[in-house]
Each structure stands twice: as structure tokens, then as C-alpha cells.
């Protein structure tokens, strides 16, 4: 089934939700390559909407092909927020996204429009769905370098340390998810509180309609493979080279995203073209698997202990 085949069903759900919740917000989420952006664009024909992107890679300017950004002509016709807002060498946190998104929602509703959050970055969506209080913890790069050095010397060390300090957060993270383990330790060392203590859930600020788009795993993987072929045909390698030529180095967080990291390795001679394509496929399939697991938890929560103010709807494609 294609996205356009379920538009009328989703439209009816949104209409019913808005009749009961005039100040409600629609959230469209699930794994990469399921058709979230396409659905939001199709729905704009029926609702006066503005889109808030929940994609932690589309925030970066100049990074278009590898992040599968909405085409420029669509951005001109349908207002999108949280896209192209920082340069690749700038830091942007989930806390900043939460603060900006809350302001966007209020502004969009003030103008009588429907806010629609669309994307697959689970942490971003959680800041609204779970309405976390976010820790006031600025990055400590010296501390990070020390932690990364310890992990390089003794793999698994940081996860063991986090297990002692914050076992609940450690249980959520794979020992190899070093960046997230480092961030959790950084929060503790800079604030004196664990991440579990700092991220306190609160009631939602506005009613939410959580729409999930679920595709068959094999079909999703086929779509991912096609997307990667298209990216390489659309000059992804040239885009990465352009970024490198302008001083955006491979060490930057933005350049660690899938597509960019592999192309840098290709340019360094690690892969040939076939190896580049296969590496991008493997890493994107792994990301999709993580996203599916994360969003399945939303469905389970919706069935077992629904969050007050949240409506859950899942559509199979």
C-alpha cells in the first residue's frame, strides 16, 4: 500500500481529534523511509498546516541530499520549521529543539493553523510526548575528550561507570553507544544529578495525536536501498566534498550522520563505490531497526497505560 491510499483514513482521524481537541497537535512518526514527509504534504491539501521537523539531521544547512530533505519548492509552498537552522559546525541539542518547538506550536496555533510534528528522531519527539524537564548542562569538551580517551583505552569502561552512577539510563544504552553514554556521564559530572533524575516526565502541554506509519520490514529495506541509490545518483559524493572543501571536517557531529561518514571514508579510500553503497545500506537498515523498536514502545504504552492527553493511531502500509 502506498501513502496516498491511507490519506483519507488519516484525514478522518485528524478531523475527529481536532473536534475534541481544538488546541491539539498532530505527530507523525515511525522509521526512516516509511513515507512520513509525503503523508504530511498530502494532508496539507485538507488542513491549514505548518510542519515542525523532528529530524536531527535536517537541522543542518547545506546537507540536503544525504538527509533526504524536503525539496526547496515544497518548503516555499508549505511552511516547515526546524530545517536549515544551523551550520554543520554548530551544536544543536534536543533541549533547544524542545524549546523552539513549544514556541512554534504556540505561534502556529495563534495564527489558526494546525501544528504537525513529523520525523523519526525519537529523542526530539520524546521531549514533547514525555514533556521532559531538560538538564541545564552545557557541553564540557575537555571532559568529553577525557571520557572518549578512557573508552578507547578500555572499551566498555564508560558503560560500566554509568551503570554504577545511573543504572536505569545505562540499561537503555548499548555499551557501544559511546556518544550517548558520554552525554549521560557529562550530565552527572556537570550538574551533580544523573540523567534519570534530570529528565523528569510531565503531562503533555497540549493534546497529541500520535500517528504511526508502519511498513513491512522487507518493503522498508527495499525503499531504503532505492533511496541510497538515488542519493548517489544525485551527487551525494559531490555534496560531501563541497562540505569538506569549506572546512566542515569529518570529526563534526553533523558529518557522522549516515551517508556523510561513509562518503568521507570512500574519499579516504576505505571503500570503492560498491562498498560505499553497501555500507550505507547496512547502517541505514540498522537505524531503521532501532527506530522501529523505539516507536513500538509508543504503541505498547498506548495499549497498556495511555498517557493522559495522548491519542494513539497506527496505520499499516
Q: Where are the alpha helices (DSSP H) in the chain?
A: 7-20, 36-43, 72-77, 94-110, 122-129, 141-153, 157-165, 167-172, 178-191, 195-198, 217-233, 236-245, 260-267, 273-304
Select from 48, 47, 25, 28 the least CA-distant residue to 102.
25
Q: What is the mean pLDDT of each run of 10 residues along the chain (317 residues)?
A: 92 97 96 94 97 97 96 94 97 91 98 97 92 81 91 92 94 83 92 90 95 92 96 97 97 93 97 96 92 82 85 91
pTM (2 d.p.): 0.90
Cα–Cα distance for residue pair 117/52, rounded to 1 Å: 5
Grid cell for residue 123: 529523542
Question: Which pLDDT score, from 0 to 100, does residue 134 have?
Answer: 77
Question: Which pLDDT score, from 0 to 100, does residue 135 have?
Answer: 74
Question: Which pLDDT score, from 0 to 100, does residue 49 have?
Answer: 97
Question: Which pLDDT score, from 0 to 100, does residue 272 have?
Answer: 96
Question: In the 3-class helix/strand/coil scheme, how is 264-298 assigned residue by residue?
Answer: HHHHCCCCCHHHHHHHHHHHHHHHHHHHHHHHHHH
Question: Which pLDDT score, from 0 to 100, does residue 305 have?
Answer: 83
Question: Which pLDDT score, from 0 to 100, does residue 296 have?
Answer: 82
Question: Which pLDDT score, from 0 to 100, does residue 205 have?
Answer: 96
Residues in contact with 241: Cβ distance below 8 Å, sequence separation at least 6, in sequence order: 267
Domains of the chain: 3-133+206-214+310-316 (3.40.50.300), 141-198 (1.10.20.140), 219-285 (1.10.287.890)
Amino acid at each position: 500500500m502506498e501513502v496516498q491510499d491511507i490519506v483519507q483514513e488519516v484525514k478522518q482521524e485528524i478531523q475527529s481529534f481536532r473536534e475534541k481537541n481544538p488546541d491539539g497537535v498532530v505527530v507523525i512518526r515511525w522509521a526512516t523511509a516509511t513515507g512520513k514527509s509525503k503523508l504530511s504534504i498530502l494532508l496539507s491539501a485538507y488542513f491549514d498546516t505548518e510542519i515542525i521537523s523532528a529530524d536531527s539531521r535536517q537541522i543542518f544547512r547545506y546537507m540536503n541530499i544525504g538527509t533526504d530533505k524536503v525539496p526547496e519548492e515544497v518548503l516555499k509552498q508549505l511552511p516547515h520549521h526546524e530545517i536549515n537552522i544551523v551550520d554543520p559546525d554548530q551544536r544543536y541539542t534536543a533541549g533547544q529543539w524542545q524549546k523552539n518547538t513549544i514556541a512554534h506550536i504556540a505561534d502556529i496555533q495563534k495564527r489558526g493553523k494546525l501544528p504537525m510534528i513529523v520525523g523519526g528522531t525519537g529523542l526530539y519527539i520524546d521531549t514533547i510526548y514525555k514533556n521532559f524537564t531538560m538538564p541545564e548542562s552545557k557541553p564540557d569538551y575537555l571532559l568529553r575528550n577525557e571520557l572518549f580517551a578512557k573508552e578507547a583505552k578500555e572499551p566498555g569502561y564508560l558503560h560500566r561507570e554509568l551503570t554504577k552512577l545511573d543504572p536505569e539510563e545505562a540499561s537503555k544504552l548499548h555499551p557501544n553507544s559511546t556518544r550517548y553514554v558520554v552525554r549521560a556521564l557529562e550530565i552527572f559530572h556537570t550538574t551533580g544529578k544523573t540523567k534519570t533524575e534530570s529528565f523528569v516526565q510531565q503531562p503533555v502541554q497540549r493534546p497529541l495525536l500520535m500517528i504511526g506509519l508502519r511498513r513491512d520490514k522487507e518493503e522498508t529495506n527495499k525503499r531504503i536501498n532505492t533511496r541510497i541509490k538515488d542519493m548517489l545518483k544525485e551527487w551525494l559524493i559531490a555534496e560531501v566534498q563541497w562540505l569538506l572543501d569549506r572546512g566542515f571536517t569529518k570529526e563534526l557531529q553533523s558529518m557522522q550522520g549516515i551517508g556523510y561518514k561513509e562518503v568521507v571514508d570512500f574519499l579516504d579510500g576505505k571503500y570503492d563505490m560498491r562498498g560505499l553503497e553497501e555500507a550505507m545500506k547496512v547502517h541505514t537498515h540498522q537505524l531503521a531497526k532501532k527506530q522501529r523498536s523505539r516507536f513500538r514502545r509508543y504503541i505498547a504504552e498506548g495499549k497498556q497505560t495511555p498517557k493522559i492527553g495522548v491519542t494513539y493511531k497506527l496505520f499499516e502500509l
